[in-house]
Amino acid sequence: MKFLHISDLHFHKFSSDNLEMERRLKYIQKNYPSHHLIVTGDIVDDGHAEQYVNAFKALKPFLGKIYICPGNHDFGAAGNFFSAERAARFDAMLAVPLQQGGTFRGDMTPVVNIVKDEHDTVMLIALDTNLETEHPFDFACGEVGESQLAYLKTILASPAAAGMVKIVFFHHHPFMHKNPFMELRDGRQLMRALYARVDLVLFGHKHVAEKWENMNGIQYVLAANNAYSNDFAREIVVTGGELTVSFVPII
């Protein structure tokens, strides 16, 4: 089973600002027709309705094989100012029409999808790491929250999850500590919950691609760069429970 991980698409209101991102999505559609696509947030730039319309139009061809989570820019202006109205659009204009099998805003439960082929069953767990605060000093920080963390632990400990390859993905960098502008405040608690219990962790936010192997008891921890101006994305191949990771062109 093959996956592509992209992040931080930052769809804008005017079509002319989205051409580079649209070219990349068309390339992915044409060249990786059977890959599952995982998008780790900041899908739009400010949470405006027009941006969501543009993003949905570009992502609709991946219906049935796309898995998303929200980033700080999806829920607020400049990524810093959380707005309940803009957050609601993520569910109404992307998560529901892209058939995510769950919504993100408010209930704070992970969104779980299972994909299978003849060799593997993969559990995809999407988290909402947005800090739902209106205080400007919180900037672009994130939080998993106690409730979502508790649900995550229950899912990972469930007998149904045993034997599946487990991929957890979210937007905020989980161990960029001491950055008061961008940190995931409970990143330590999240990484503790994931320790040796999942196979792959994916995120974005920092717009820098990074890779950690066999870290925190996890086969791969991968950060994606921003897809709208980068020419490569990570491909993850799952075969008989084994993962291989490489960069592939997206333009």
Name the residues that contact Fe ion, by CB under 5 A. 8, 42, 71-72, 205
> 178 with 202: CB under 8 angstroms?
no
Minimum Å gap between C-beta 203 and Fe ion is: 10
Nearer to Fe ion, 18 or 72 (CB): 72
Nearer to Fe ion, 80 or 216 (CB): 80
Minimum Å gap between C-beta 51 and Fe ion is: 13
**Residue of 3, 52, 60, 49 lying closest to 26 (CA atoms):** 60
Beta strands 76-77 and 66-69 are unpaired
* 14: number of Cβ within 10 Å: 10
Instruction: Return the residue matching tokens 């995931």.
Output: 184
Minimum Å gap between C-beta 206 and Fe ion is: 8
Structure tokens at 75: 């829920």
Minimum Å gap between C-beta 171 and Fe ion is: 6
What secondary structure letter does DSSP report for 160?
G
Nearer to Fe ion, 122 or 227 (CB): 227
Residue 55 to residue 43: CA distance in whole angstroms: 7
The residue type found at 199 is: D
Nearer to Fe ion, 2 or 48 (CB): 48
Minimum Å gap between C-beta 44 and Fe ion is: 10
Nearer to Fe ion, 4 or 155 (CB): 4
Residue partners of 238: CB distance under 8 A and separation at least 6: 1, 2, 3, 120, 122, 165
